[in-house]
Amino acid sequence: MADKKVLIVYAHQSTGSFNAAAKDMAETVLTTQGCKVEVSDLYAMKFKASATAADITGDVKDAEHFQYGEETMLAWKEGRLSAITEEHRKLSEAEVVIFQKIGFISLSLELILSFPMYWFTVPAIMKGWLDRVLTLGFAYTSEKRYSQGIFKDKKAMLSFTTGSHESMFSANGINGDMNVTLWPLQNGILHYCGFQVLAPQIFWAWRTRLQGLLGEMPLTFTPSDSFDGGRGFQLKEDVQQKLAANEFGLSVGIHLGKPLRPNSQIKAGV
């Protein structure tokens, strides 16, 4: 862990909250291990959640039919993005990024998003960080995504509180299976940008886990080369044949009509 750069992207309003305590603990433990810790306090920064043309300095290419992704990619290439570029720098230097649903930590090789779960997802200010900072071209392209993604050499994880009992997010619970809840965040955002996704931290033994975080194995997602691009990115027939006798599907999203593999979004090696 020594000499690792750690970015904490923190998104909670209260300095007395549990999430604040978790963020402070992470900062203390990682600093003790020799990491250089940097903090982006989104509320203190008054970070803008909405993705608009205001993110671009100068004229846009097509104001009448404005497309945020295309316009910001062009502005990024030309060095005309506004405040987002500082967050780009932090993310580029980070190795670990921890998304803590209300706070968010990014180590020099891992990204930690830290936050309280709002409506089964991240708070608006953190969603705005994802919308604006994971810029087209900088964080992904149509050619560089999923297992071939731009951030394939970086690790990321979610770390969050739910306000509910663990049993409520079980396969039999009223909130539904936590694995299903996490699929859009872990696959649709993190893995989409290439991150190796570590199992989420749903607050129990945070201090202990931080000690060995960089040595953890990431969750498993289906490699991009398992899909045939010429057929609309469908799973290749030979891959489907190999999986035909399997009890479970590949993942929450790519389940092949089979039962979901237990805890595939929560524990590595399942």
Confidence class of residue 213 from pLDDT cuts 50, 70 and 90?
confident
- Cα end-to-end span (Å), the chain: 26
Nearest to 182 by CA among 266, 269, 98: 266
Q: Where are the domains of the chain?
A: 5-48+83-216
pLDDT at 226: 93
pTM: 0.83
**H/E run at residue 38:** strand 36-41
The candidate with the shortest Cα–Cα distance to 22, out of 120, 111, 100, is: 100
Please, which residues have CB within 8 angstroms of residue 165's CB and are 6 or more apart in sequence? Answer: none
In this predicted structure, the answer to whether residue 107 has a pLDDT above a threshold of 50 is no
Task: Say if residue 100's pLDDT is above 70.
Answer: no
Hey, what long-range contacts does 256-262 have (CB within 8 A, 24 or more apart)? 260/177, 260/179, 260/180, 262/179
Let me know how long the chain is: 270
Return the pLDDT at 208: 73
| Burial tier of 72 (Cβ tally within 10 Å: 0-12, 13-18, 19+) | buried
Task: Say if residue 105's pLDDT is above 60.
Answer: no
Q: Which burial class, exposed, middle or buried, applies to 39 when counting CB atoms under 10 A from its CB (0-12, 13-18, 19+)?
A: middle
Across the range 65-73, mean pLDDT stands at: 96
pLDDT digits (tens, 9 = 90+) for 127-151: 999 999 999 999 999 999 999 999 9
AA identity, residue 8: I
Q: In the CATH hierarchy, which top-level class contains the domain 5-48+83-216? A: alpha beta
Mean pLDDT over each residue of the chain, to the nearest integer: 87
